[in-house]
Amino acid sequence: MPMTCDSAFRDKRVLITGGLGFLGSNLALRLVESGAAVTLVDAMIPEYGGNLFNIEPIRDRVTINFGNICDRLAMEWLVRDQDYIFHLAGQVSHLMSMTDPYLDIEYNIRGTVVIMEAVRRFAPRARVVFTGTRGQYGPAICLPVDEEAPTNPKGLYEISNLTAEKIIKLYHDVHGIHTILLRLTNIYGPRAQMRHSQYGVVNWFVRLALDNETIKVFGDGQILRDFLYVEDCIEGILRASVSPEGHGEIINLGVDKPSSFLELVQTLIDLAGSGRWAFAPFTPERKAQEPGDFYSDIRKAARLLNWRPTTPLRVGLEKTIAYYRQHRHHYWESPQPLSLKQAI
């Protein structure tokens, strides 16, 4: 991966919300290597992705600030003097949002307002990058899905992300804040949580393969998705954050070559050398929630950011397997009690 924009971050001050999570920690690793002064905010909500091991390689070179983004006074201090604010914290599980709708409103909507009010008042020249989800579109009306497609999200997680995006856009339009609004597809790779299957389907499948379990492939396995390797995603986020063309825009980060779930699972088991798969019928609930084929039109990202993913699925899965094979005890074989154990 060419690290074309890393020099832009030398000696810059960077705040990452959700900084100990999947994307946040991968982003922090790149930014620290680039010479940025990085502060990570994380609420460490047990079921979410915050994990100190994620930043083990840079532990002594970042500032960690434990705290919830809804803590107004804390955020007002943390945003000050930052050049870049990567706002990644949030409730990120569709399934969890369907059982407790209040967390999405609290973290994804109110938390976003807390951050943006703090930015407006104390860091109006910071660049704010928001990572939304392809779920904001809802089911694809035509494929691939570009940024002009209608937004009919089918869950509170997805609705709350769309709301957060519109709120941040408002601070751009009304208060002149420099914002970049990304919509991410399914991301996979090292440093995602592996304790439960409430979100992050590819990583969950990696765990099942490594545990030599059976992976259920629903329906005929032919549903298409674009699975984006985390390093490619981070490269896109970084390019968007420094690009003048990204300013105020909504940009998809995805993969232009989709894969079927069956292809994903077969490749994974082949690479892992363990695990097996079996077809399973859709449950009525799963069927109702399943949005069908989805993959992103990424021509806008190519045009504005000169970005495209470069990691083939096979290579991304290989790296992911290698990481978790080496570090599994930091992700799902830890001794501490897991509050979502029943849900696994």
- The residues that touch a second copy, with contacts defined as CB under 8 A, are 98, 101-102, 105, 109-110, 113, 117, 150-151, 153-156, 159-160, 162-163, 166-167, 170, 173-174, 288-289
The CA-CA-CA angle for residues 62, 44, 242, to 5°, reads: 45
Q: How far is the CB of 198 from a second copy (least distance, A)?
A: 17
Q: How far is the CB of 159 from a second copy (least distance, A)?
A: 5
CB 131, CB 23: distance < 8 Å: yes
Nearer to a second copy, 81 or 173 (CB): 173
Phi, then psi, of 175 in degrees rounded to 5: -110, 0
The CA-CA-CA angle for residues 238, 244, 247, to 5°, reads: 85
Q: In angstroms, how far is the first alpha carbon of the chain from the final one?
A: 35
Helix residue ranges per DSSP H, 187-229? 201-210
Nearer to a second copy, 55 or 113 (CB): 113
Beta strands per DSSP E along the chain: 13-17, 37-42, 63-66, 84-87, 127-133, 178-184, 186-188, 214-218, 224-225, 227-229, 250-253, 259-260, 276-280
Q: How far is the CB of 57 from a second copy (least distance, A)?
A: 38
Nearer to a second copy, 107 or 227 (CB): 107
Q: How far is the CB of 105 from a second copy (least distance, A)?
A: 5
Nearer to a second copy, 172 or 191 (CB): 172
Nearer to a second copy, 23 or 109 (CB): 109
Q: How far is the CB of 73 from a second copy (least distance, A)?
A: 14
